[in-house]
Amino acid sequence: MNFFRGVMGGQAAGPQPSGAETIQKLCDRVASSTLLEDRRDAVRALKSLSKKYRMEVGTQAMDHLINILQTDRSDSEILGYALDTLYNIICNDEEEEQDESEDAVTPLPVSGKHKNVSMPDENAQKLSDDLGAQFTETFIQDPEHITLLLTLLEEFDFHVRWPGVKLLTALLKNQGVQLQGIILVSPMGVSRLMDLLADSREVIRNDGLLLLQQLTKGNAAIQKIVAFENAFERLLDIITEEGSSDGGIVVEDCLLLLLNLLKNNSSNQNFFKEGSYIQRMKPWFEVGDDNSGWSAQKVTNLHLMLQLVRVMVSPVNSPGATASCQKSMYQCGLLQQLCTILMATGVPADILTETINTVSEVIRGSQINQDYFASVNAPSNPPRPAIVVLLMSMVNERQPFVLRCAVLYCFQCFLYKNQKGQGEIVATLLPSTIDANSISAGQLLCGGLFSADSLSNWCAAVALAHALQDNLNQKEQLLRVQLATSLGKPPVSLLQQCTNILSQGDKIVRRGSKVQTRVGLLMLLCTWISNCPIAVTHFLHNQENVPFLTAQISENLGEDERLVQGLCALLLGICIYYNDNSLENYTKEKLKQLIEKRIGKENFVEKLGFITKHELYSRAAQKPQPIFPSPEQMLFDHEFTKLVKELEGVITKAVHKSSEEEKKEEEVKKTLEQHDNIVTQYKELIREQDAQIQELKEQVASMTSQNEQLQTTITQQLSQIQQHKDQYNILKLKLGKENQSQSNSQGDTSQVNGLQTEELSQLREEVEELRKQHTLLQTQLGDKDALINTLRSAPVQSAEAPAGGPDHTELLQELEALRGQVQSQSDEITQLKTERQDLLRRAEAGSSDTVSSSDGSLDSTKMAELESRLSQSSVLTERLKEEAKSLSQRRAELEQQLASATSTVAILQAEKTKLQGEVQESKKEQDDLLMLLADQDHKIHSLKQRLKDLGETVEDEDDLDARDQTDDDEEEDDEDED
């Protein structure tokens, strides 16, 4: 401990060591000590010496301190000392203490020892100024050091996290680009830094804001990552918690970070708008009635808030994104809130100026916002439009210069692409609309145009020029304006009065800044008569204008007058280019001859080039907002620079063209006119086609909805078809059972002759065939012709099947043969009966003859013979009777069997007829379904073709067929199982 007493100020014997030696011993102690307490004390000592001996500590101890960060992660106290020491040697803050008593030394290795070498004072000073950058470069040579530092930031301990935040901020200040690249590729690097905003300790959160400010400067990739890490939500929450515009420095830091994230970053701007964060900006601008006593911090905060709004609607953004943000600001009421501040009293001048600039860009090019701004009235008695109040400030020479520039910018933005607003401004100058009891915008512009203040002249001229920008109708309307110059003299036109002021050089000289006034009037005249032949004719009708312009151009004047000469050349060139040759004395050809004689073409073109060569021209061409360091430099308007760029080349060509070229050009113009007519026709055709396309799109939309309905209907019909299939299968099963019961009931008869068995087998074959045909109908719905042929062939096959078979025919033949035998036997019996009766009669006659005859013996013999024959006949008769009786029984049995067979055949024929009827009904239903499905297939095919034409993905029919085939196969398997 004696050693540390010597280091920390205690008295020790012997000579006192120098600072470099002490630091060397401390570094050795840090490197060699095995006890954590010894290393911690040595690092604490290095921290206490790091401000006074900044270079020595940084040169000798940086590696040891980094090693401490890597190895002693478990001790937060030594980590905090090491981080503080590194911060002291890297930070370049003005508060750091400089060593004035000790000479700056640089250790050099000599024979394994360090030797102190003095450096000249000037080199020491130079090294001291750049020490932070040098040590930062040394620290970031190994990117793992930054990764290590990011890992330490995850420690929640205050003594580790806070020094780590400060050290990383100092590194970013010294070597921002290199640090950004390392952090960008580090896994979860930006996310770890974003966690600082969620820290409950305000000092870490606030320093985290400063760290993120340095991190997001000029790096769009990191800005996007930070934005998508929910930065907007967290920052807006912090601003709200801190009191919005009434908050302190933390609100300012949050707003600066938001500006870093949004400025020149279209992706973040779109994310900010889509996240509905614009709506959360409205409460920032809720200013009360008492606007006295604004603090400096509130002014700063509100100024940054207004800048944040301007970033979202800046003219340099893409037009689509700007228009979307302008619409959101109007819908959420932010524009209305800004206009309230604009018309409030007691608002500081710089806030009022910035508010005017902000309102300008919120309404620029947005018709709905411009219309709302035109309706805003100032809280005065009587109420006056806000535009009139602002113009009163613009033409008032006692108002601040920046405020007058802001009002001019607001007026320009109000008229930008706003023909309705341009017409309203010009209308206030026309004789029929002038109200003597109220001050109008036109009267203020005329008053400023002819006032004694040159700045008012310039502002009024530029404002009036914007009322005529790209608006031919208003240029012609403004020619009607008449001014009463003095009593007893006739009124003169506004155009003539402007040229009179230009020509009265002696009066302008007495006004002081004659160049600014003349430049403003010349810009107004050039804008007025460009692309307006009627205005050119009015200008040339005054006999003094052309001689004045040629005299101005031909003179050799000083540097200040060169710009006026260039503008006069531009005005004369416009008179040539847009001349319709309606005045004989000032046709295009005569004006060119006049230039060639009085000025010279080359001299004219040279004077015309003075405009674009002026140093203030390029500055005005950069941004629409008129920003000038002093009133004397307020010479060019942004929109006028566009006009010069457009006209300079065509005027130069027009002056150099000869009469023959003019004729050729006229022919070309005629051709171009014809071409324009053709183009117009094509445009009309394109419009018609666009209308047709729109109608087709609507039809496609309606057909898409119909398609969806049809799909629903098809689904329902498919379910109904499935139900019919199930019902049909049930009926088939019932029919099979009935056929089986009928076959069982007729079993005995079938065994007798085999008639019903064969008939039933044939009917079963027909039913099986009908089943196969029905399955074929289900699986081959697409093949309609084959199905129809199959259905047509089915009745023929059914008709061929119902015959009784060969057994039935043989039975009938046998029955007929038996009938014939019975008939023949009956005939034989009848014949025998007849012969018996004949014999009986003969016997009776023979007995009478025997009595009367004398020869009795002969008759007796005959009688015996006859009796024997009679007995034989009786026996034969009895036998025949028995045979006839048996045949009659056989006949009755056969007739009974025939009747039974006939009834069975009739029953089977009825069942067959019933089945055929059911088959016909099924075929009819199938035909109806086929027709319905064919119609639906046609509609679906046309709808799919339209959807394909529109680029939609449609499932092919092959996929549907494959799916149907799979379903049919499964159904066949189920039937087979049944």
Closest among 307, 207, 201, 300 to 246, alpha carbons compared? 300
**For residue 79, pLDDT beyond 60:** yes
pLDDT for the residue numbered 354: 95
Closest among 201, 172, 163 to 79, alpha carbons compared? 163
Distance CA 148, CA 139 (A): 11
pLDDT in tens, 858-900: 455 656 666 676 677 667 777 777 777 777 787 777 778 877 7
Mapping DSSP to helix (H, G, I), strand (E, B) and coil, where does residue 42 land?
helix
**For residue 245, pLDDT beyond 70:** yes
Return the bridge partners of 385, or none: 377
Q: Which domains does the chain have, with CATH numbers?
A: 454-657 (1.25.10.10)
> Which of 395-409, 556-570, 942-956 shows the highest mean pLDDT?
395-409
pLDDT for the residue numbered 34: 85
pLDDT mean over 632-640: 91
pLDDT in tens, 288-340: 666 667 889 999 999 999 999 999 999 999 999 999 999 999 999 999 999 99
Mapping DSSP to helix (H, G, I), strand (E, B) and coil, where does residue 492 land?
strand
pLDDT in tens, 652-680: 888 887 666 666 766 777 777 777 788 88
Residue for token digits 């003349």? 518
Q: How far is CA 823 from CA 363, 816, 826, in A?
A: 125, 10, 5
Distance CA 813, CA 820 (A): 10
**For residue 465, pLDDT beyond 60:** yes
pLDDT in tens, 713-723: 888 888 888 88
pLDDT for the residue numbered 880: 74
Q: H/E element holding 221?
A: helix 220-226
**For residue 198, pLDDT beyond 50:** yes
pLDDT for the residue numbered 843: 53
pLDDT for the residue numbered 385: 92
pLDDT mean over 767-777: 65
Distance CA 692, CA 688 (A): 6
Distance CA 405, CA 357 (A): 9
pLDDT mean over 602-615: 90
Q: For residue 382, is the peptide bond before it cis, meaning its omega torsion is within 30 degrees of 0?
A: yes
Q: How confident is the model at residue 281 (pLDDT cuts 50, 70, 90)?
A: very high
**For residue 764, pLDDT beyond 70:** no
Higher-confidence residue of 276 and 7: namely 276
Q: How confident is the model at residue 98 (pLDDT cuts 50, 70, 90)?
A: very low
pTM (2 d.p.) = 0.65
Q: How confident is the model at residue 798 (pLDDT cuts 50, 70, 90)?
A: very low
How many CB atoms neighbour CB 732 within 10 A? 17
pLDDT for the residue numbered 794: 43
Q: How confident is the model at residue 104 (pLDDT cuts 50, 70, 90)?
A: very low
State the average pLDDT for the chain: 80
For a pLDDT cut of 70, what percent of the chain falls above it? 75
Return the bridge partners of 63, or none: none
DSSP string of 329-343, one letter each residue? HHHTTHHHHHHHHHH
Q: How confident is the model at residue 847 (pLDDT cuts 50, 70, 90)?
A: very low
Closest among 379, 377, 378, 359 to 369, alpha carbons compared? 359
Higher-confidence residue of 903 and 537: namely 537
Looking at residue 399, the DSSP 8-state letter turns out to be S
Distance CA 66, CA 144 (A): 11
Higher-confidence residue of 751 and 615: namely 615
**For residue 831, pLDDT beyond 90:** no
Distance of CA 860 to the CA centre of its chain: 143
* H-only helix segments in 853-956: 856-949
Side-chain-side CA neighbours of residue 320 (13 Å): 3
Distance CA 265, CA 318 (A): 11
pLDDT mean over 782-787: 52
**For residue 86, pLDDT beyond 80:** yes
pLDDT for the residue numbered 6: 43
pLDDT for the residue numbered 962: 55
Q: How confident is the model at residue 512 (pLDDT cuts 50, 70, 90)?
A: very low
| Cβ proximity of 461 and 520 under 8 Å | yes
pLDDT for the residue numbered 581: 86
**For residue 418, pLDDT beyond 80:** yes
Distance CA 336, CA 329 (A): 9
Distance CA 643, CA 664 (A): 26
Q: Of the given ranges (698-712, 781-795, 947-961), which has the lowest mean pLDDT?
A: 781-795
**For residue 365, pLDDT beyond 50:** yes
Q: How confident is the model at residue 970 (pLDDT cuts 50, 70, 90)?
A: low
DSSP string of 677-713, one letter each residue? HHHHHHHHHHHHHHHHHHHHHHHHHHHHHHHHHHHHH
Q: How far is CA 375 from CA 204, 219, 713, 833, in A?
A: 48, 42, 55, 141
| Cβ proximity of 386 and 447 under 8 Å | no
> Which of 514-528, 656-670, 904-918, 948-962 shows the highest mean pLDDT?
514-528
pLDDT for the residue numbered 835: 65
**For residue 522, pLDDT beyond 70:** yes
pLDDT for the residue numbered 528: 95
| Cβ proximity of 435 and 370 under 8 Å | no
Q: How confident is the model at residue 974 (pLDDT cuts 50, 70, 90)?
A: low
| Cα-based angle 804, 808, 814 (whole degrees, multiple of 5) | 165
Distance of CA 618 to the CA centre of its chain: 37
For a pLDDT cut of 90, what percent of the chain falls above it? 34
